[in-house]
Structure 1
Amino acid sequence: MTERVAVPPAGWDAEGLARLGEAIGFGEGRSRYIGGWVRDALAGVPAGDLDIGTQLLPAEVRKSADAAGLGVWTSPSGLAHGTVGVTIAGKPVEVTTLRRDVSTDGRRATVAFTEDWEEDAGRRDFTINALSADPLTGDVFDYFGGVADLRAGVVRFIGDPLQRIAEDHLRILRFFRFHARFGRGMPEPAAYDACAARANDLMALSRERIADELLKLLGCGVPVPAVGFMLARDVLKPVLPEIGAAGLDRLEQLVAAERAAGLAGDPVRRLAALVPQDPASAEDIAARLKLSNAIRKRLALAVSPSTEPPEVLAYRIGTVNAVDRLLLSGRPDDAASMAGLQPPRLPISGGALVARGVGAGPLVAKGLKMVEDRWVTEGFPDRGRVEQIADQVAAELLRDQ
């Protein structure tokens, strides 16, 4: 029985896709939907990007799409790898000429174009990612048993796992990410063994690529088993030796806390659970992974335990950071109460103290901090009470001069 996906894809402009299809040969079998969208549609999970494979050369795709009145965008690196971007109703579609690998070095590949659908599918990493579908009928083309693997919850390399990892070392992390999304039970043995055997290959990758893939894995609905499988065979040890069993326990507790609070899983928060629970270590790991300054700060704030009331915490470090810390501290009910909370603002400024006779300069800054601390301690009372606090603070400062 031929597997079939629903076409046109839900959420996409049917008229725009039809125009693109007429331009690049949907009806003649020259182009198909490929990869992740086909896999996700078969799995019944929300589909992401829509990608198209084609037998046409990039210049032909560009010319035909442009003639059809569709927005076309390209980049030098994209064109070198056969990809032309087309905009349909404001949404991007990548149209990529079928390819075969000429050479690989573990980080990038040199490719040549082909018209052979199976050859193009064969250069992909896993059987479940090598599927394609007729854009008009929805009929699925499956050259390597990907449909059966998807149904069985098996993530399997195409061909020799060791060779596929040698071609692109990032496939180690991708294997565990896809196992977290689609796998059931233990990982496929040959793939698992190969990932463990070649774990040191991760050291050849840029830290940005490692971070991107790790955060994608942690963003999966239930990442704990996949991370556990990685730690059991020391897959992360070459690049993140600090992460161990304690981090896995914290991650499991965090996922449960997120669920109890009714909050979506957050990959940065989950990374905070994995790393050692002190700000210096968290920042060191974030720097090694070349994460943004904002994420570095977020990790450092998340790993500092707190017993402060949630409103106070939100005021001092911001709502997002407060939710991180509350969930990591095992306080899901408090975290849930933060939804939509906007931290209050101190209703007076330093001018209120100057008006009360406090000299401008460092003394005003000191006094305003005193007012703020008392306002926070009292649970953010209204302006009337803050004016009283300001009277008290001004009197103390003037008395001590």
Structure 2
Amino acid sequence: MELTLPDAPWREREGLRELTDVLGSGDGDARYVGGAVRDTLLGLPVSDVDIATRLPPTQVLERLAAAGVRAVPTGLAHGTVTAVLPSGPVEITTLRRDVATDGRHAVVAFSGDWLEDAARRDFTMNALYADPSTGRIFDHHHGYPDILAGRVRFIGDPYRRIAEDHLRILRFFRFHARFGEEVDADGLDACAARANDLMALSRERIAAELLKLLVARGAVAVAGLMTDHGILRAVLPEIAADGVARLDRLAAAEAAACVAPDAVRRLAALVPSEAADDVGARLKLSTTDRKRLVSATSSVGGEGPRALAYRIGIPGAVDRLLLAGLPLDDLADWAAPRLPLSGGTLVARGLSKGPDVARTLRALETRWIADGFPTSLPDALIDQAVADAMNANAASGDSGRA
């Protein structure tokens, strides 16, 4: 029985049908490939669309130019051109075969053979092609049965696939975390045996895969699987002894609070606080994510959820509270208020401009937070704080008055 691609909203994207016509889909020169085909067969939403073509990249560029389609040569050495449609970008890649690989990079030669192109892909579920016009599915490596079984399976010899690109070890687990039901034993054995190959990869590539893995639906179970087989420590040597257990508790807390999984927050569950900054630096996280990772691993403190949220921001407080297993009820529909006092008010009451104002404001702010963020501060409290600051200055030989 011939398998066909179900109808899906992405297939009606503006300009897509015309694009496939320009690339010769009617002549068998272009097919949808990879994630768009896989996810459509699973009934999942599709964001990225990839097209494989027998046309060489120079000819792809010529055809797009003739059709008035903007083209970006995003990876000509590997045969990739991005067509910019009104509905978004579409990646077009010429069929390829590997000439040489070293586990990190590949030298490719362009091909006109669909079987040759399919044979160089990583997993059977990613080697599905579909005719844009008829929807006919081309499944050269029995990927569809693997999709139905929730089985991530390497194409051909797993050891060879990993030798070609070491990142496929992490991709094996990421895809299993997203789709997996049944672990492919041969693939797992090969990944465990070659785990140290991951050390040769760039930190950026490792981080990208790891962060995607951590938000997949099966992240906790897969993190445990990777730990049991010595794979997670190869990319995250700082992992805490109870890291997976903490990740499990965090995932449960996120679900209970109806908070979406977050990769940086989940990474914080895996590493001890003293290692957070080093992990962020080694994985070359952005400055923002690195600071957030460090903050998330810090303690909640004893002031309460709203005080914490006021001091570090609501997102940062949510991270710490969830990681500590504490409820978020106090932050529901709460927005951080502004301190109902300015430095100018203190100066008007006799305090000299400068450090004294800042110190007094901080002291009053601490009292205001402890009192539950009242809409105003009592005059007597402000006057007492000003007097205390002036008395302290007088005792040190500085009058403190303007």
TM-score class, shorter-chain normalisation, is over 0.9
Partner of residue 364 from structure 1, selected from 357, 364, 379: 357
1:342 aligns with 2:335: yes
Q: Deviations over 1:90-121 (max 9, x none)?
A: 41100111111000010010001001111101
1:192 aligns with 2:184: no
SS at match of 1:124: coil
Distance 1:73 1:375 in 2: 56
Partner of 2:198: 202
Superposed CA RMSD: 1.6
Partner of 2:398: none
Q: How does 1:2-401 map to 2 (within 5 A)?
A: 2-7=2-7, 9-11=8-10, 13-75=12-74, 78-185=75-182, 187-243=183-239, 245-276=241-272, 278=273, 280-306=274-300, 307-331=302-326, 333-334=327-328, 337-338=330-331, 341-382=334-375, 384-385=376-377, 389-400=381-392, 401=394
Distance 1:386 1:63 in 2: 75
Higher alpha-carbon deviation: 28-37 or 61-70: 61-70
C-alpha contact 1:55 1:98 (8 A) present in aligned 2: yes
**Cα offset, 1:255, TM superposition:** 0.5
Q: Deviations over 1:174-219 (max 9, x none)?
A: 000000011114x211100000000010110011111111000002
Distance 2:13 2:244 in 1: 45
Distance 1:123 1:299 in 2: 37
**Cα offset, 1:221, TM superposition:** 2.1
**Cα offset, 1:392, TM superposition:** 2.7
Distance 2:15 2:380 in 1: 65
- TM-score, normalised to structure 1's length? 0.94
Distance 2:76 2:263 in 1: 32
C-alpha contact 1:74 1:83 (8 A) present in aligned 2: yes
Distance 1:189 1:283 in 2: 36
- TM-score, normalised to structure 2's length? 0.94
**Cα offset, 1:66, TM superposition:** 2.1
Question: Could you tell me which amino acid in structure 2 is paired with residue 376 of structure 1?
Answer: I
Question: Could you tell me which amino acid in structure 1 is paired with residue 254 of structure 2?
Answer: E
C-alpha contact 1:231 1:244 (8 A) present in aligned 2: no
Higher alpha-carbon deviation: 291-300 or 151-160: 291-300
C-alpha contact 1:36 1:48 (8 A) present in aligned 2: no
Structure 2 stretches lacking a partner, 5+ long: 395-402
Question: Could you tell me which amino acid in structure 1 is paired with residue 267 of structure 2?
Answer: L
C-alpha contact 1:374 1:389 (8 A) present in aligned 2: no
Q: Deviations over 1:148-191 (max 9, x none)?
A: 01101111100111111010000000000000011114x21110
SS at match of 1:53: strand
Sequence identity percentage: 55
C-alpha contact 1:180 1:223 (8 A) present in aligned 2: yes
Distance 2:191 2:248 in 1: 23
Structure 1 stretches lacking a partner, 5+ long: none
**Cα offset, 1:385, TM superposition:** 2.1
Q: Deviations over 1:49-107 (max 9, x none)?
A: 100000111111112122222221123xx011111111111411001111110000100
**Cα offset, 1:309, TM superposition:** 2.0
SS at match of 1:385: coil
Distance 1:362 1:205 in 2: 50
SS at match of 1:375: helix
SS at match of 1:238: helix
* CA distance 1:179–1:379, change in 2 (3 Å): same
